[in-house]
Amino acid sequence: MAESDWDTVTVLRKKGPTAAQAKSKQAITAAQRRGEDLETTKKWSAGQNKQHLMTKNTAKLDRETEELQHQRVSLEVGKVIQQGRQNKGLTQKDLATKINEKPQVIADYECGKAIPNNQVMGKIERAIGLKLRGKDIGLPLEAKPKKK
């Protein structure tokens, strides 16, 4: 019985507060009440997007009056798409399904709101069989011989 010493006492303690808990308002006020030394520093512009100061270039951009916009599909191209689609007996949804795009994409191209994308334009050209790019817009696509 000499191995077990009944006089030793083991004290189990809770872990101290985590970093997030130590920074909370409650933890700070509790530490102040206990009389502990605290060091608090306020970050400059904390929580705000003021990391970039006003520079000369920013001021110059603010004074800029010219409005720059992306080039849109012309109404001529939109009409060609619409006529080619109707000649094939397709709805906007059918054409969109055929070229794996959303119907809204076709609608945007037809009313001239879309920003031209060569991949989409190529798919539409092949689906309706009419040229949409270059000088001869609206003319039938020439079938290119397949390479062997």
Taken in order of first residue, the domains within the chain and their CATH numbers are 73-132 (1.10.260.40)
Q: Which of 109, 113, 112, 104 is nearest to 122 (CA)?
A: 109
Residue 14 has pLDDT above 60, yes or no: yes
Question: Which positions ≥6 away from 51 have C-beta within 8 Å?
Answer: 45
Q: Identify whether the C-beta of residue 78 lies closer than 8 Å to the C-beta of residue 60.
A: no
pTM of the predicted structure, to 2 decimals? 0.52
DSSP letter (8 states) at residue 129: T
SS3 77: helix
Read off the pLDDT of residues 85-116 as tens digits, 9 standing for 90 and up. 999 999 999 999 999 999 999 999 999 889 99
Structure confidence by residue, pLDDT tens digits, 26-56: 888 888 888 888 776 766 665 666 555 556 6
For tokens 């009440």, the residue is 33
Query: What per-residue confidence (pLDDT) applies to 103?
Result: 93
